[in-house]
């Protein structure tokens, strides 16, 4: 029997997971945001907290920013402070959902002046990329309509295609657009990029520097997400994941909490196509908000959950799987997957961390570090993500 453990350890040592800056600010539901003592008050403090997640897990060296939530005077300073903390800046997320002018659309708006404003915002984001060394411009388009007949669906697609072309033309070589989709919310009749097909069609029109972002919370209940993963990988257009977990809507909960088996099935498709390796260009990001739980340990838990799902996928006996599939042995093939899923990979991950000079239990190591007590003591006045710094 081949030594899957050794190969898994080697692959796991190359995995990285990107953290969202907004996970470290106060955020909640539209009903209530429960403030937390010690929460980061500005982008510099968000980086400090993200660096804690990296320090204890060893696999989270990048932080995505959200503009304008993470506006600072000098992005060179922010990038330098990231470097000092042992992390770097990941994707730059644009924001098209908090401006009165965007009520009827941003990149799809009927008024060219509003579209211009939305396009120019991306010029600003690309400038942030240049100053921080980021290579990814992540666009989640919140545009859509609430009522049949409200606007011409096809015209909205044409306006979108034109706006995206103008944004794409501003990219530097080596930059990517990561184009996200979401089937509902904030509009409820027709979102303008509701699904992976629409996102993919726009990416294909744009060119090689445009890829799809798959946010695991952005599908109708029951959607087979791993199928989408397989197809996008097959076409070379899976740019990134926004990992989170959902029970009913876009819940943004800790990844793998609602359905660890789904996370495993996704990672299985990833590993089957070698997309867990850095050379694949697939970025594994978290897109989560922590309302009840503490934010830094919340992110640590998510990182560990992604690692566990990856480890299990790496333990799948692919030869046995293929043999069973070829022989039409339905239950044998299924059993190969279930055997891997049922394996307790925590000792394997403990070994990985020890190899890297880390505590086997990042969660406990953070609790012991004193960081939480320090920020609760020192930081006063944290605000909701999206409302000021
Ligand atoms: C959106 C989408 C984006 C994220 C924002 C905060 O629903 O998932 O990725 O940047 O929320
Ligand atoms: Mn997302």
User: For the residues of 245-288, what is the DSSP string, one character each?
Assistant: B-SSSS--B-TTSS-HHHHHHHHHHHHHTTTTSGGG--EEEE--
CA of 348 to the centre of ligand 1 (A): 33
Q: Which of 64, 287, 290, 291 to mutate to test the pocket of ligand 1 (most atoms within 8 A of CB)?
A: 287
**Quick one: pLDDT at residue 29?**
85
Q: What is the pLDDT of residue 153?
A: 98
Q: How far apart are CA 158 and CA 36, in angstroms?
A: 44
Question: What tens digit of pLDDT does each residue of 349-368 get?
Answer: 999 999 999 999 999 999 99
User: Which protein residue's CA is at the shortest distance from atom 2 of ligand 1?
Assistant: 140
Q: What is the mean pLDDT of each run of 10 residues along the chain (389 residues)?
A: 85 98 91 92 97 98 97 98 98 97 98 98 98 98 98 98 98 98 98 98 98 98 97 98 96 96 98 97 96 96 98 98 98 98 98 98 97 94 52
Rounded Cα distance, 88 and 233, in Å? 26
User: What Cα–Cα distance (Å) separates residue 14 from each residue in 269, 270, 279?
Assistant: 18, 14, 10
Ligand that lies nearest to the alpha carbon of residue 92, given by its number in the listed order: 1
pLDDT in tens, 167-208: 999 999 999 999 999 999 999 999 999 999 999 999 999 999
344 vs 159, 248, 309, 311, 339, CA distance in Å?
Answer: 50, 28, 10, 10, 10
Ligand 2 mean position, distance from CA 178 (Å): 11
Q: Sort 278 into a burial class: Cβ within 10 Å, 0-12 / 13-18 / 19+.
A: exposed
């Amino acid at each position: 029997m081949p030594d899957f453990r050794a190969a898994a350890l080697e692959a796991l040592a190359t995995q990285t997971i990107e953290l969202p800056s907004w996970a470290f600010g106060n955020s909640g539901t539209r009903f209530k945001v429960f403030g937390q003592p010690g929460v980061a008050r500005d982008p510099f403090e968000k980086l400090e907290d993200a660096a804690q997640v990296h320090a204890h897990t060893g696999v989270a060296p990048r932080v995505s920013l959200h503009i304008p939530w993470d506006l600072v005077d000098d992005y060179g300073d922010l990038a330098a402070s990231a470097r000092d903390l042992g992390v770097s800046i990941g994707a730059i997320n644009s924001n098209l959902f908090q401006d009165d002018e965007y009520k009827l659309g941003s990149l799809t708006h009927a008024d060219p002046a509003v579209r211009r404003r939305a396009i120019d915002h991306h010029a600003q984001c690309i400038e942030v990329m240049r100053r921080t060394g980021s290579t990814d411009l992540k666009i989640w388009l919140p545009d859509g309509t609430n009522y049949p007949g409200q606007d011409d669906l096809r015209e909205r697609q044409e306006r979108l295609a034109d706006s995206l072309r103008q944004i794409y033309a501003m990219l530097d070589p080596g930059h990517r657009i990561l184009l996200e989709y979401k089937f509902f919310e904030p509009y409820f009749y027709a979102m303008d990029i509701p699904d992976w097909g629409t996102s993919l069609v726009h990416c294909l029109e744009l060119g090689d520097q445009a890829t799809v972002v798959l946010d695991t919370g952005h599908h109708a209940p029951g959607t087979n997400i791993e199928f989408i993963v397989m197809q996008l990988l097959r076409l070379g257009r899976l740019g990134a994941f926004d990992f989170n977990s959902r029970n009913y809507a876009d819940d943004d909960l800790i990844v793998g909490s609602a359905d660890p088996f789904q996370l495993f099935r996704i990672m299985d498709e990833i590993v089957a196509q070698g997309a867990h390796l850095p050379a694949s260009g697939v970025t594994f990001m978290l897109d989560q908000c922590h309302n009840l739980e503490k934010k830094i340990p919340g992110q640590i838990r998510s990182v560990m959950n992604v690692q566990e799902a990856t480890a299990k996928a790496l333990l799948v006996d692919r030869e046995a799987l293929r043999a069973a599939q070829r022989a039409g042995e339905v239950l044998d093939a299924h059993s190969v997957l279930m055997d891997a899923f049922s394996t307790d990979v925590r000792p394997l991950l403990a070994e990985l961390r020890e190899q890297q000079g880390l505590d086997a239990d990042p969660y406990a190591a953070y609790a012991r570090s004193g960081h939480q007590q320090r920020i609760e003591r020192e930081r006063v006045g944290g605000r909701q993500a999206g409302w000021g710094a």
